[in-house]
Structure 1
Amino acid sequence: MSDRRIALWTVALVALIAAIAYRISVFSEPPPPPTPQIVFITGGSGPYWQSAVAGAKSAARATDVELAVAMPQADESLEQQMEILMNLAPDVDGIAISPIDAAGQTHLINKLVEKMRVVTFDSDAELSERHSHVGTSNFSAGRTCARMVGEALPEGGEIAVLMANQTKENLIDRRGGFQERISQMAIDDDNPSAPPRYVVVGYFEDNGSDQRCAQNIRDALAKFPGLDCFVGLNARHGPVLIATLKELGKLGQIKLVTFDALPQTLDAIEQGQIYATIAQDPYNFGYQAVTTLAKLCQGHGTDLPIVGKGSNYLGAEAIKQDNLDNFRDKLRERQQATETSKPNTEKPAA
Structure 2
Amino acid sequence: MSKPTFFLLSLFACVSVLGTGCNKSSSDSAGGGDSGQRPSVAYVTNGVASFWVIAEAGVKQGGKDFDADVEVLMPAEGITAQKRMIEDLLTKGTDGIAISPIDPENQTELINKAAKYAKVITHDSDAPDSDRLCYIGVDNYVAGRMCGELVREAMPEGGKLAIFIGRLEQDNARRRRQGVIDAVLGRSEDPTRFDPPDAEIKEGDWHIVGTYTDQFDRAQGKANAEDAISRHPDLAGMVGLFAYNPPLMLEALTQSGHLGKIKVIGFDEAQETLQGIQDGNVYGTVVQNPFEYGRQSVKVLAGLARGENLQSLGIPEVGFLDIPARKIRKDNLDEFWAELKKNMGETAE
TM-score range, shorter-chain basis? 0.7 to 0.9
Residues 54, 344 of structure 2: 8 Å contact kept: no
1:54 is aligned to 57
How many angstroms apart in 2 are the aligned matches of 1:231 and 1:115?
41
Residues 185, 197 of structure 1: 8 Å contact kept: no
1:133 is aligned to 135
1:318 is aligned to 327
How many angstroms apart in 1 are the aligned matches of 2:251 and 2:302?
41
What does the per-residue CA deviation read over 1:121-155, in whole Å, with 9 as the maximum and x for residues that have no partner? Answer: 11111111101111011111111111111011101
Give the count of matched residue pairs: 298
1:305 is aligned to 315
How many angstroms apart in 1 are the aligned matches of 2:70 and 2:342?
24
What does the per-residue CA deviation read over 1:39-98, in whole Å, with 9 as the maximum and x for residues that have no partner? Answer: 111122321111101101111111111112222135xx2221122122223421110111
Structure 1 unaligned runs (5+)?
Answer: 1-30, 187-193, 339-350
Structure 2 unaligned runs (5+)?
Answer: 1-33, 189-201
Letter matched to residue 67 of structure 2: D
1:245 aligned to 2:246? no
SS at match of 1:154: coil
How many angstroms apart in 2 are the aligned matches of 1:99 and 1:155?
38
1:264 is aligned to 272
How far residue 195 of structure 1 moved from its aligned partner, in angstroms, is: 5.9
1:81 aligned to 2:82? yes
Task: Out of 321-330 and 230-239, give the one that drifted further.
Answer: 321-330
How far residue 185 of structure 1 moved from its aligned partner, in angstroms, is: 6.6
Which of 57, 69, 72 aligns to 1:69? It is: 72
The 3 A distance-change label for structure 1 pair 124 and 195 is: closer
SS at match of 1:159: strand
Q: What TM-score, normalized by structure 1, do the two folds share?
A: 0.81
What does the per-residue CA deviation read over 1:165-224, in whole Å, with 9 as the maximum and x for residues that have no partner? Answer: 1111111110121122122279xxxxxxx9611111101100001110111112212222
How many angstroms apart in 2 are the aligned matches of 1:311 and 1:218?
38
2:114 is aligned to 112
Residues 144, 318 of structure 1: 8 Å contact kept: yes
How many angstroms apart in 2 are the aligned matches of 1:251 and 1:162?
17
How far residue 335 of structure 1 moved from its aligned partner, in angstroms, is: 3.3
The 3 A distance-change label for structure 1 pair 336 and 222 is: closer
Letter matched to residue 323 of structure 2: L
CA-based RMSD of the aligned residues comes to 2.0
2:195 is aligned to none
SS at match of 2:98: strand
- Structure 1 segments, 4+ long, off by >4 Å, are none
How far residue 337 of structure 1 moved from its aligned partner, in angstroms, is: 8.6
How far residue 36 of structure 1 moved from its aligned partner, in angstroms, is: 1.4
How many angstroms apart in 1 are the aligned matches of 2:323 and 2:231?
38
2:244 is aligned to 236
The 3 A distance-change label for structure 1 pair 180 and 32 is: closer
Q: What TM-score, normalized by structure 2, do the two folds share?
A: 0.81
Which of 163, 183, 186 aligns to 1:184? It is: 186
The 3 A distance-change label for structure 1 pair 178 and 195 is: closer
How far residue 289 of structure 1 moved from its aligned partner, in angstroms, is: 0.8
2:144 is aligned to 142
